[in-house]
């Protein structure tokens, strides 16, 4: 996976209330003059380097995902979760998969950089939210087998369980430059969703952090 090169200005871990295995870590925060009102949300399943120039970063990191028919369902599912959880009367969230992507017949529509820029202008987008899978790690642990007497000869009393730990990079970017983030955070969770993607509790944490920092308005 390609590494992201955004600078980390400071960090603070926040524990998700009611879900002790998920955390958000703010890495960068630049105060907006006003909250964002129209945000274009993108989900990509592999970390990418947004330090490139706009058109190059778009083609490598975003357009590549649109042209990949294997990730269409995943992108749509996660972006619908983001829009339904994070959208407010004051801040509208647009799903990239609903406006750009693969056609129903499997062919690619016009996902060019020029069309992307035209969409940004026509929708009056003032913020671009990128959420990308950064890391997935499997953890193995042993648990007792229920109903098996401890010490019974020839019978094991523990089984090995598997736990998926996932980490995501999140960036809020001003439309004038894909390599110019105003806010960045890392989301981590123990026990990722069965699809190994952003889950609902993590999306709520992301929404709360952006609201608390003044980027999303109620």
One digit per residue, the tens of pLDDT, for the chain of length 218 reads 333 433 333 334 444 443 447 789 999 999 777 899 999 999 988 888 777 668 888 888 888 777 777 777 888 888 999 999 999 999 999 999 888 866 666 666 788 899 899 999 999 999 999 999 876 666 655 666 665 555 555 455 666 665 667 888 999 998 887 877 899 999 887 765 555 577 788 888 999 999 999 999 87
Residue 28 pLDDT = 92
- What residues pair up with 22 in beta bridges, in sequence order? 189
Angle at which helix 72-86 crosses helix 200-212, to 10 degrees, equals 50
Nearest residue to 172 (alpha-carbon basis) of 120, 119, 121, 129: 129
Q: Which helix (H) or strand (E) holds 117?
A: helix 113-122
Q: What is the pLDDT of residue 180?
A: 79
For residues 57 and 179, the answer to whether their CB atoms sit within 8 Å is yes
Q: 113 with 100: CB under 8 angstroms?
A: no
Instruction: Classify residue 124 as left (phi > 0), alpha (psi -120 to 50) or beta.
Output: left
pLDDT of residue 218: 77
Tokens representing residue 132 in the block: 């990308």
pLDDT of residue 138: 65
Q: Which domains are assigned to the chain?
A: 12-145+159-212 (3.40.50)
Q: What pLDDT is stored for residue 121 in this prediction?
A: 95
pLDDT for position 32: 74
């Amino acid at each position: 996976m390609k590494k992201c090169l955004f600078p980390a200005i400071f960090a603070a871990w926040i524990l998700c209330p009611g879900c002790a295995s998920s955390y958000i870590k703010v890495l960068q925060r630049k105060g907006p003059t006003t909250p964002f009102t129209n945000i274009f949300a993108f989900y990509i399943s592999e970390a990418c380097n947004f330090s490139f120039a706009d058109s190059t970063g778009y083609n490598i990191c975003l357009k590549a995902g649109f042209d990949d028919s294997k990730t269409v369902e995943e992108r749509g599912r996660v972006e619908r979760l983001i829009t339904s959880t994070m959208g407010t009367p004051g801040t509208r969230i647009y799903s990239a998969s609903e406006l750009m992507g693969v056609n129903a017949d499997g062919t690619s529509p016009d996902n060019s950089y020029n069309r992307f820029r035209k969409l940004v202008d026509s929708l009056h987008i003032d913020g671009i939210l990128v959420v990308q899978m950064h890391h997935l790690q499997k953890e193995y642990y042993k648990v007792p087998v229920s109903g098996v007497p401890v010490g019974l000869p020839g019978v094991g009393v523990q089984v090995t369980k598997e736990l998926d730990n996932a980490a995501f990079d999140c960036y809020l970017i001003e439309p004038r430059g894909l390599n110019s983030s105003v806010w960045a955070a890392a989301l981590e969770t123990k026990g990722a969703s069965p699809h190994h993607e952003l889950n609902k509790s993590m999306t709520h944490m992301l929404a709360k952090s952006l609201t608390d920092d003044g980027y999303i308005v109620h």
